[in-house]
């Protein structure tokens, strides 16, 4: 009788352990890792926030929604590889990150480098702390080869492998108010002297919209002569049909949905710059990395929403409305309020 009880206890304990293992394994393989993070009231609120953000995208991406845009109806396999360039993969942890410039992407790239261990420090060891990675290395064009892009390296087998990873890995992105993101991009690339952006874009804008037939050859010369690109010139450039007829928007002002394809890729986590600290802490817990990765502190100079009135003061209401239509899909997919004050003046 005693032996029978022992066997029953062993069987019961084994059943419990196997069930627990299966639950944890399924949670880890699936689209979310919520079982790892507890069930505090704060966590429940954050979980509901994510469910809401994902639901909004699903609703707008459905065929019968009121939001219509060109890319909505295409399939993932119809997206060319070059349009998937913002999807970074960490195979070690099963994570895919779609980076959006001007939305904390520098620090998230640092995190992805630490996770993947693809980049070595001067001593030959992988970087272990995101803050140890120099800013110049993050934005070095050759570094893009360090990142494991979703579409790279697999030739004709790439699409099946992409589908496998998209199904089994945890996918996330961070977004930002579209107009505030434009202000941030303009300040970073044109208010500050940036030789590359001056030569590629600034001089073109000066010729077309500032009536300067022969802009200075360098940004240093332009600044020395008091020639500065205005935000009005920048907006004119974005609204000009000729701009995208010549080449696609630069990634710093490309619409976020066109960078990350949320109607074709079902993201597990949608973070926002406006809730960066909470969302980052939540995501790292979901990934089981909160004790391993410390996200670099947020920037003090995040462009404030209140600045919209100041920056758009010299933009005509007609152009503001055109600009909203250009970025309306981002506003609605990622649930940012329509800037009625700017559009109704």
99 and 245: one domain? Answer: no
Give tens-digit pLDDT for 36-46.
333 344 889 99
Tell me, what's the pLDDT at 154? 61
Give the percent of the chain with pLDDT over 90: 63
Asked if residue 186 belongs to a domain, the reply is: yes
Residue 145: its pLDDT value, please?
Answer: 52
- Are both 268 and 132 inside the same structural domain? yes
Q: Is 8 exposed, middle or buried (0-12, 13-18, 19+ CB in 10 A)?
A: exposed
Which is nearest to 170 in space by CA: 74, 34, 60?
Answer: 34
Judged against a pLDDT cut of 80, whether residue 181 lies above it is answered with: yes
- Read off the pTM: 0.84
Same-domain check for residues 91 and 234? no
**Same domain for 335 and 197?**
yes
In a domain, 297, yes or no: no
The domain in which residue 281 lies consists of 41-175+263-286
**Closest to 263 in 3D by CA, of 5, 33, 62:** 62
Taking residues 58-64, report their average pLDDT.
94
Q: 300 in a domain, yes or no?
A: no
Same domain, 191 and 152: no
pLDDT at 233 over 90: yes
Domain count, the chain: 3
Same domain, 82 and 214: no
Count of residues in the chain: 345
What is the structure's pLDDT at 135?
79
226 CB contacts (<8 Å, ≥6 apart)? none
Contact predicate 157/187, CB 8 Å? no
Is 91 within a domain? yes
Same domain, 208 and 76: no
pLDDT band of 303, cuts 50, 70, 90: low
The answer to whether residues 68 and 160 belong to one domain is: yes
Read out DSSP for 15-67? Answer: HHHHHHHHHHHHHHHSS--GGGS---HHHHHHHHHHHHHHHHHHHHHSTTSS-
pLDDT of residue 120: 76
Per-residue model confidence (pLDDT) at position 190: 98
Q: What is the pLDDT of residue 10?
A: 44
5 pLDDT higher than 80: no
Instruction: List 173's β-bridge partners, or say none.
Output: 98, 270
Q: Of 301 and 128, which is predicted with more confidence?
A: 128
- Mean pLDDT for all residues in the chain: 84
The one-character DSSP state at 96 is E
Among 101, 109, 114, 100, residue whose Cα is nearest residue 136: 109
Average pLDDT of the residues in 127-135: 83
Residues 14 and 98 in one domain: no
Domain assignment present for 58: yes
One domain for residues 191 and 248: yes
pLDDT of residue 259: 98
Q: Do both 214 and 164 map to the same domain? A: no
Q: Which of 61-75, 213-227, 237-251 has the lowest mean pLDDT?
A: 61-75
């Amino acid at each position: 009788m005693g032996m029978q009880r022992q066997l029953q206890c062993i069987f019961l304990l084994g059943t419990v352990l196997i069930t627990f293992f299966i639950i944890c394994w399924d949670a880890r393989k699936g689209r979310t890792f919520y079982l790892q993070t507890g069930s505090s009231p704060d966590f429940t609120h954050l979980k509901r926030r994510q469910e809401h953000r994902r639901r909004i995208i699903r609703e707008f991406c459905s065929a019968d929604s009121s939001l219509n845009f060109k890319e909505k109806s295409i399939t993932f396999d119809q997206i060319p590889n070059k349009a998937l360039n913002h999807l970074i993969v960490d195979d070690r942890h099963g994570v895919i990150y779609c980076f959006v410039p001007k939305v904390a992407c520098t620090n998230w790239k640092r995190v992805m480098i630490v996770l993947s261990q693809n980049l070595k420090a001067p001593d030959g060891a992988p970087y272990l702390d995101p803050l140890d990675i120099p800013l110049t290395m993050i934005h070095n064009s050759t570094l893009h080869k360090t990142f494991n892009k979703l579409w790279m390296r697999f030739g004709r087998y790439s699409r099946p492998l992409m589908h496998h990873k998209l199904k089994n890995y945890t996918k996330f992105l961070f977004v930002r108010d579209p107009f505030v993101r434009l202000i941030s991009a303009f300040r970073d690339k044109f208010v500050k002297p940036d030789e590359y952006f001056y030569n590629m874009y600034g001089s073109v804008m000066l010729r077309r919209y500032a009536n300067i037939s022969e802009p200075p050859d360098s940004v240093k010369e332009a600044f020395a002569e008091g020639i500065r690109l205005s935000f009005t010139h920048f907006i004119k450039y974005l609204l000009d049909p000729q701009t995208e007829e010549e080449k696609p928007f630069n990634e710093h002002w490309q619409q976020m949905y066109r960078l990350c394809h949320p109607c074709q890729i079902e993201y597990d986590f949608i973070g926002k710059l406006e809730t960066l600290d909470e969302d980052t802490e939540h995501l790292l817990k979901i990934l089981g990395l909160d004790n391993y990765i410390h996200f670099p502190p947020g920037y003090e100079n995040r462009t404030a929403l209140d600045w919209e009135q100041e920056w758009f003061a010299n933009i005509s209401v007609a152009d503001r409305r055109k600009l909203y239509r250009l970025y309306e899909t981002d506003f609605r997919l990622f649930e940012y309020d329509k800037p009625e004050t700017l559009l109704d003046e």
